A and B are shown apart, each in its own frame.
Chain A
Amino acid sequence: MSTTPTPDRPSLVRASMLVAEREITSQVRSKSFLVSTAILLVGILAAIVVSSVMSGRAQDDVPVAVVTSVAGEVPTTDGLAVTDVADRAAAERAVRDGDVEAAVVPADGPLGVEVLAMESAPDALLDALTQRPEVELLAPANADGPVRYVVTFGFGLIFMMSAISFGSTIAQNTVTEKQTRIVEILLSAVPARALLAGKILGNSALALGQTAAIAAVSVLALVVTGQDDLLTLIGTPVVWFVVFFAVGFVLLASVFAASASLVSRIEDTGVVLQPAMWLVMAPYFLVVFFNDNATVLSVMSYVPFSAPVGMPVRLFLGDAAWWEPLLSLAVLAASCVVVIGIAARIYERSVLRMGARVRVREVLGSRAAR
C-alpha cells in the first residue's frame, strides 16, 4: 500500500471545492431542507396567485372617469367602465382616490383631451381612443400603495429568512465539527482556510439557489396571473436583489462561521450568534418601519449588511440613479473581502480551542494565541 504512489496534497481551491461539495450534498439530501424549500416555493406561488384572484384585475373592466364635456371622445367599447364626472377637479379626485384607474379630461392641445392616471395609463383606455392623447401622471414614482409594501417587505423578508436559515446551518455545522472533533481530522488534511472557504461557498451556493428559485417562481406566477405590468416594475430590482444577495450572503456566512467557531457546544451558539442575527434582522425591520423615509433607505442601500435589501428597494421605488447599485455593490464586495479576512483569522485560531468560549479580542490579538 505504501508502495502505491501517494497523491499530492490538494490545492486550496480543490480542497475548498471538496468541502463545499460535501456541504451541498449533505444539505440537499436532508429531508428537512427539501421539505422547507418546497413549502416556501409553493407558499410564494400561492400568495401571488391568490392575491391576483382576489383583486380580479385581469378580468374586470377598467374603471375610467370621463368629464361630461368630452364624453363623445371616448367610445363605449368593451373593457372600459365609464363614469361621468362634472369637471377636471372631480376627475382628478376620482383618480387619486383610486375609484378609477384613469380619467379623460378636456385639454388645450389639438386633440382637446388628455388622460390623467396615477403611475401609468391603462392600455385598454389608450387603445380605445382613436388618437393617443397626452398622458399626465399624477404619481409617476412607479409603485403605489399595497404593491409598494408587499414588494419592499418581500425583499426584506426573503433576505432575512434565507440568511437566518443558511447562516444557522453554517453555524451548526461549524460547532458540530468542533464538538465531534472531526475538525482535528479535517485540519490534519486541509488548512483551516479551505474548510472555511468551502463552508461559505457551499452554503452561499445553496442560499443563492434558493433565492433564485424564489425569484423565478415569483416571476412565473406574475406572468401566469397576467400581472406583467408589475413584472416590468420589479424585474430589474429582482435581478439586482439576486446579485446583491449573492455577495451579501457570503459576507454574512463568514460572520456566522467565525462566530460559531468561538464555542464548542451547540448549546452555546445562541449567545455568540446574537450579533450576527441582529445584522440579519436589522434590514427587515428598517424596511418595515422606514420604507417611506428616503434618507434611511439611502443609508441602508450603502451599508454593506443592509445593501442587499436597501438597494433593490430603492431601485423598485425608482429613487436610485443607474450608477448607485454599482457603487453600492463595489462597497459591499470590498467590505466582503475585509470581513472574510477577519473571519478567517478568527476561525483559524479558535476552531481548535475546545472548552470555554473563546474571546474575539483574544484570537484577533497576539500571534501566540494560536
Chain B
Amino acid sequence: MLELHGVSRSFGDRLVLDDVSFTVGRGRLTGFVGGNGAGKTTTMRIILGVLAPHAGTVTLDGAPLAGAARSRFGYMPEERGLYPKMQLVEHLTYLARLHGFDKAGAASRAHALVEQLGLAERAKDPVESLSLGNQQRAQVAAALVHDPEVLVLDEPFSGLDPMAVDVVQGVLAERAAQGVPVLFSSHQLDVVERLCDDLVIIAGGRVRAAGGREELRAQHGTARFEIVADGDVAWLRDVPGVLVDELAAATAVFRADDDVAQQVLRTALARGPVHAFTPLRPSLAEIFRDVVIDAPEPDLQEAAR
C-alpha cells in the first residue's frame, strides 16, 4: 500500500501542503477530493517524485520510494500532455519502452490498451487530431501502458461523456482488482461517490478527512431520517431532541440521534400506519461541505503553480 507520512511543501513563502498523511490501500479505488488549489496536484506530483517534498516521506509497502520504484507508477497529470504530432499507438509504444519494455512487448501492450479503451479506429491518427474525449482516453492509456504497480490519476474523468466515464471506470476497477493501489482526484463529487472505496478530503493543504466511504458517511454529517405516515406528522415538532428540516403534511425529514429516532418511530406507529421510515445518509457533497467549511481556508490560490 502507498503511504504518505507528514508531507509538507511550500512554494516560496506559501505553505501548500501541511503535514499531509494518508494511505492508498492495495485493491482500493481511493478518491482524492478537494477544492481548487487545495493541494491535490502538488500531492500527486510529490507521490510521483516529479516534485520533492520539503518534509515527510512517501512509502510503498513500507519502503521509501526511490527512482526505480517510481518508474513502475502510472501517472496521468492534471494538464493533458502527449506529443501532438505522434501517432497514438506509436506514442504509447514509446512510453512503454521508456519504462523498460522491449519493442515488441511495448507495441502489443499499446495495441491492447487502445482496443480496450475503444480507440482502435484512431490507433494510427496523430494525437492532435483526436477529439477532446478521445485525447482524454489516450491520456489514460498513457498512464496504464506499462502495467503500473501504482496508479495516480489527476482528474481522469473530467471532460468525459457518461459512456467514456464507464469505460475508464471499468479499466481502473480492473486494475484495482488486480491489487494495484489507485489514487484519483476529482471535483465531480457524484462520480467519486459512485466509484471510490476510500476517500481523502483535502482543503487548504491539510487532510480534513480520510477513510472508507461508508465510515466517513457515518462519521460526518448529522444523522437524518425521513418518515412517511398516514396522517399529519406536525406533532414531530414537539418531540424533544428532534429538529425538523422539512415538513409537508404526512412526510417529514428530521434530525435526531438514533435513540430519539427509534422513539419517534414507536410514537408514529402508535398513532397510525407508517409507510416509510428511512435513515438518510449524508451525500459526499454534504460531507465535503461539512468538513471543508468547518476548517479555516487560509489560501485558495492555485497551489500547483
B-contacting residues of A (Cβ < 8 Å)? 1-4, 6-10, 15, 18-19, 22, 26, 30, 176-177, 180-191, 352, 354-355, 368, 370
Assembled-state Cα–Cα distance A343/B225 (Å)? 65
CB distance from A3 to the nearest CB of B (A): 8
Assembled-state Cα–Cα distance A57/B79 (Å)? 64
Assembled-state Cα–Cα distance A279/B102 (Å)? 40
Residues of chain B from 141 to 158 with CB closer than 8 A to chain A in the complex: 142-143, 146-147, 149
Is there contact, CB below 8 Å, between B77 and A184?
A: yes
User: From B74, which residue of chain A is reached at the shortest CB distance?
Assistant: A188
A10-B100, A188-B50 are known; give 14 further A-B pairs, CB within 8 A.
A8-B68, A9-B68, A18-B97, A19-B98, A177-B83, A181-B78, A182-B82, A187-B50, A188-B73, A189-B71, A190-B71, A352-B45, A352-B50, A368-B54
Q: Which of A18, A183, A188 contacts B70 (CB 8 A)?
A: A188
Assembled-state Cα–Cα distance A185/B178 (Å)? 23
Is there contact, CB below 8 Å, between B149 and A18?
A: no
Q: A2-B149, A2-B180, A4-B147 are in contact. Are A185 and B97 (CB under 8 A)?
A: no
CB distance from A12 to the nearest CB of B (A): 11
Is there contact, CB below 8 Å, between A354 and B305?
A: yes
Assembled-state Cα–Cα distance A251/B67 (Å)? 28
Is there contact, CB below 8 Å, between B72 and A6?
A: yes
Q: Which of B45, B99, B142 contacts A7 (CB 8 A)?
A: B99
Chain A residues near B86 (CB, 8 Å)? 26
Q: Is B52 located at the chain interface by the 8 A CB criterion?
A: yes
Is there contact, CB below 8 Å, between A8 and B100?
A: yes
Give the most central of A7, A18, A30, A181: most B CB within 10 Å. A7
Is there contact, CB below 8 Å, between A181 and B71?
A: no
Is there contact, CB below 8 Å, between A184 and B94?
A: no
Chain A residues near B77 (CB, 8 Å)? 181, 184-185
User: From B305, which residue of chain A is reached at the shortest CB distance?
Assistant: A355
Q: A2-B149, A6-B149, A180-B84 are in contact. Are A185 and B95 (CB under 8 A)?
A: yes
CB distance from B2 to the nearest CB of A (A): 14
Q: Which of B75, B85, B178, B179 contacts A188 (CB 8 A)?
A: B75
Chain B residues near A187 (CB, 8 Å)? 50
Is there contact, CB below 8 Å, between B178 and A1?
A: yes
Number of interface residues of B (CB under 8 A): 44
Chain B residues near A191 (CB, 8 Å)? 67
Q: Which of B51, B82, B85, B179 contacts A26 (CB 8 A)?
A: B85
Is there contact, CB below 8 Å, between A370 and B52?
A: yes
Chain A residues near B17 (CB, 8 Å)? none
Assembled-state Cα–Cα distance A253/B140 (Å)? 33
Assembled-state Cα–Cα distance A176/B84 (Å)? 9
CB distance from B51 to the nearest CB of A (A): 7
Q: Which of A3, A15, A183, A188 contacts B49 (CB 8 A)?
A: A188
Assembled-state Cα–Cα distance A60/B82 (Å)? 62
Chain B residues near A176 (CB, 8 Å)? 83-84
Q: A1-B178, A26-B83, A188-B70 are in contact. Are A7 and B48 (CB under 8 A)?
A: no
Give the most central of B48, B77, B179: most A CB within 10 Å. B77
Assembled-state Cα–Cα distance A333/B75 (Å)? 38
Q: Is B80 located at the chain interface by the 8 A CB criterion?
A: yes
Assembled-state Cα–Cα distance A184/B97 (Å)? 16
User: From A194, which residue of chain B is reached at the shortest CB distance?
Assistant: B98
Assembled-state Cα–Cα distance A216/B99 (Å)? 39
Q: Which of B52, B54, B98, B102 contacts A189 (CB 8 A)?
A: B98
Give the most central of B45, B52, B100: most A CB within 10 Å. B100
Assembled-state Cα–Cα distance A283/B67 (Å)? 42
**What are 19 sample pairs from A and B whose C-beta atoms fall under 8 A apart?**
A2-B180, A6-B72, A7-B105, A9-B72, A9-B100, A10-B99, A18-B94, A22-B94, A180-B80, A183-B81, A184-B48, A184-B77, A185-B81, A185-B142, A185-B143, A188-B48, A190-B71, A355-B305, A370-B52
Give the most central of B83, B84, B101: most A CB within 10 Å. B83
Chain A residues near B142 (CB, 8 Å)? 185
Chain A residues near B49 (CB, 8 Å)? 188
Assembled-state Cα–Cα distance A177/B91 (Å)? 13
Chain A residues near B80 (CB, 8 Å)? 180-181
Contact digits for B230-271, partner A, Cβ 8 Å, 1 yes 0 no? 000000000000000000000000000000000000000000
Contact digits for B266-305, partner A, Cβ 8 Å, 1 yes 0 no? 0000000000000000000000000000000000000011
Chain B residues near A185 (CB, 8 Å)? 75, 77, 81-82, 95, 142-143
Contact digits for B8-52, partner A, Cβ 8 Å, 1 yes 0 no? 000000000000000000000000000000000000010011111
Is there contact, CB below 8 Å, between B82 and A7?
A: no
Is there contact, CB below 8 Å, between B101 and A18?
A: no
Is there contact, CB below 8 Å, between A2 and B73?
A: no
Assembled-state Cα–Cα distance A181/B86 (Å)? 15
Assembled-state Cα–Cα distance A191/B50 (Å)? 10
